[in-house]
Amino acid sequence: MSPRRRIQSGEEPLFIEQVQKASLWSRLALRRSKLPRQWWKPSRQWVMPMAMAVAGLLALGAITTSSLVLVNHRSHHQVAMKEVDVLGFARSFMTGFTSLDPFHANDYVDRLLAQATGDFGKQYREKTNEVLIHVAQAEPTKGTVLAAGVERWNDDGSANVLVATEITYKSPDRKQTFENTNRWVLTAQREGDQWKISGLQQVI
């Protein structure tokens, strides 16, 4: 062990306690802000309003999406029902148009004129007598619609419909049967609650 040193009277001690001088900042009375112990966690006071707002936005988005889907579905349904309606009328009209009955020529012409409008109706009204004579002198025919489809919808609400028909008739001696296939483009125009034909053209 090292010998201990004796301190003589009047001699300063070897270890002097160093007292740090007060700085300018330590003398100022600064206000210290205290944070909550768990300041990073959301407060219950605004968690519930925020959750309700988010839930409301999600519900609004769901309602908007459902509304758009419903409107789109209804629109497609209306177009589909309208197409079925006009195709049913086109099939019925072309079946009657291609089915000639010389024994009921007047009924044929009356039925045709009742379903005609526009330029088509005007032309047939001007040629009513010619059509009547032609039907009365013709051989009986049976018309059948093979296929029908909407080509396009026009801006005025009318529809252009493509129709394929087959006309069956017999020879004057009734021994032979003939079949003739034709294609037509007709324009169906809605008038009130009834469809009418405003144009008819045979496609070659």
Q: In the chain, pLDDT over 70 holds for what percent of residues?
A: 69
d(CA 87, CA 81): 10
Backbone angles phi, psi at 33, to 5 degrees: -90, 135
Regarding predicted confidence, which is higher, 103 or 39? 103
pTM of the prediction?
0.64
Tell me which of 1.10.357, 2.60.40, 3.10.450, 1.25.40 is the CATH number of domain 55-99+139-203. Answer: 3.10.450
- Does residue 34 surpass a pLDDT of 60? no
Regarding predicted confidence, which is higher, 6 or 181? 181
Residues 112, 130 contacting (CB under 8 angstroms)? no
Q: Where exactly are the structural domains of the chain?
A: 55-99+139-203
